[in-house]
């Protein structure tokens, strides 16, 4: 970690850090081409625009434009960026990256998961990233994605909120990557742009069977499930009951707190 080549230091640090974080992460190093090729500037400019921070990372980028970075990506679309810290500490920062293709209104009132400074040891830093930044980042992503569903209640790491949609489908934005594989196996389809999972509502009986099946699976992982729908919409007759259910089954809920972005 004491390599005088800052590009090599950043890349090797990010590779080790990715291996230490929970779940599966891959790393991309920017610029990905020869630095003399101007095309790499577009990638760096886009990344700088998507850095989700109004504190340490924002101050660093204001002082000096982004010259290089390492992006850690998770299969569910989550991304973290490791950056050089251009101040007296001359260290590294890690920041959450805002999802692509979501409307600005979805971010209103969602608190930015501010960047954190890294000590320089990826084995020790992984614990801080996991317990601090990653928790705040996953929660913020879930809030933003749920806002694209009309301001529905967001999910939490231990609570999956599923919401009826006007077309009869059911949508959710799980926090983290634990629930995703269960939803996909049950028939939910993830939108690559928004990260939102949807279950088609054309066959309401099949939909109801799916909803009853995923409850115990998620419960075994410590994740409770809540099914909610707008007051103006009546759920299909074959859907689960609207009264609270025991743990391991889907409970109905309501509530529409409003979230959004201030960037």
Can you read off the two tokens belonging to residue 152?
Answer: 């529905």
Q: How confident is the model at residue 244 (pLDDT cuts 50, 70, 90)?
A: very low
- Model pLDDT, residue 262: 36
Please report, in angstroms and rounded to a whole number, the separation of the first and last CA atoms in the chain. Answer: 34
Which residues are CB-neighbours of 46 under 8 A, at least 6 positions away? none
Mean of pLDDT over the chain:
80
User: Using an 8 Å Cβ cutoff, are 158 and 224 in contact?
Assistant: yes
Q: How confident is the model at residue 160 (pLDDT cuts 50, 70, 90)?
A: very high
Can you read off the two tokens belonging to residue 50?
Answer: 């998507």
Which residues are CB-neighbours of 120 under 8 A, at least 6 positions away? 1, 13, 91, 92
Predicted TM-score (pTM) of the model is 0.67
Identify the residue with better confidence: 115 or 254: 115
Q: How confident is the model at residue 237 (pLDDT cuts 50, 70, 90)?
A: very low
- Model pLDDT, residue 194: 81
- The 8-class DSSP code of residue 230 comes to -
- Residue carrying the six token digits 């003399």: 36
- H helix or E strand, kind and range, residue 84: strand 79-84
Q: How confident is the model at residue 151 (pLDDT cuts 50, 70, 90)?
A: low
Confidence check: pLDDT of 118 > 70: yes
CA–CA distance, 146 with 158 (Å, rounded to integer) = 16
């Amino acid at each position: 970690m004491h390599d005088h080549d800052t590009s090599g230091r950043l890349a090797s640090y990010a590779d080790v850090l990715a291996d230490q974080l929970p779940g599966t992460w891959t790393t991309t190093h920017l610029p990905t081409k020869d630095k003399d090729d101007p095309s790499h500037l577009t990638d760096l400019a886009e990344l700088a625009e998507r850095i989700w921070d109004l504190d340490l990372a924002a101050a660093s980028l204001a002082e000096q434009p982004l010259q290089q970075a390492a992006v850690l990506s998770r299969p569910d679309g989550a991304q973290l960026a490791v950056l050089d810290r251009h101040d007296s500490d001359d260290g590294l920062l890690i920041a959450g990256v805002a999802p692509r293709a979501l409307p600005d209104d979805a971010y209103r009132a969602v608190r930015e998961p501010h960047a954190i400074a890294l000590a320089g040891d990826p084995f020790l830093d992984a614990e801080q990233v996991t317990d601090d930044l990653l928790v705040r980042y996953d929660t913020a992503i879930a809030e933003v994605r749920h806002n694209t569903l009309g301001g529905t209640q967001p999910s939490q790491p231990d609570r999956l909120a599923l919401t009826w949609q006007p077309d009869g489908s059911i949508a959710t934005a799980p926090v983290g990557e634990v629930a995703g594989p269960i939803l996909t196996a049950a028939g939910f389809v993830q939108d690559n742009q928004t990260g939102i999972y949807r279950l088609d509502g054309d066959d309401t009986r099949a939909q109801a069977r799916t909803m009853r099946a995923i409850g115990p699976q998620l419960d075994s992982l410590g994740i409770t499930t809540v099914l909610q729908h707008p007051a103006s919409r009546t759920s299909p007759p074959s859907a689960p009951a609207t009264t609270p259910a025991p743990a391991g089954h889907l409970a109905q809920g309501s509530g529409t707190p409003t979230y959004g972005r201030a960037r």
